[in-house]
Copies of this chain bind each other. A is one copy, B any other.
Amino acid sequence: METLADIGEDALIRRLVRGLKLDSSVIAGPGDDCAVVKGSQEPLVLKTDTVVEGVHFTEDTPARLIGRKAMARVISDFAAMAATPRHALITLIAPPYTMVRRVLEVYAGLRKMADSFGVNIVGGETSKGNQLIITVSMTGTAANQKWISRSRARAGDALYVTGRLGGSIRGKHLRFQPRMVEAHWIAKNLPLQAMMDISDGLAQDLPRLAAASGLGFQVDLKSLPRTSDCTAEQAWSDGEDYELLLALSPKVSTKKLEAYKNAFPKVKLTCIGQLVEKQNASVAPAGGWQHFRSA
Contact = CB atoms under 8 A, between A and B. Distances in A.
A56 B125 CA distance: 14
A234 interface: no
Contact of A122 (B46, B50, B52, B87): B46
A43 B38 contact: yes
Copies of this chain, count: 2
A4 interface: yes
A83 interface: yes
B46 A150 contact: no
Contacts of A130: 54, 130-131
A49 interface: yes
Interface residues of A, number: 76
A67 to B, nearest CB: 16
Nearest to A199: B33
A147 B42 contact: no
A117 to B, nearest CB: 14
Interface in A170-209: 196-197, 208
A178 to B, nearest CB: 12
Interface string A23-65: 0000110011111111111111111111110111000000000
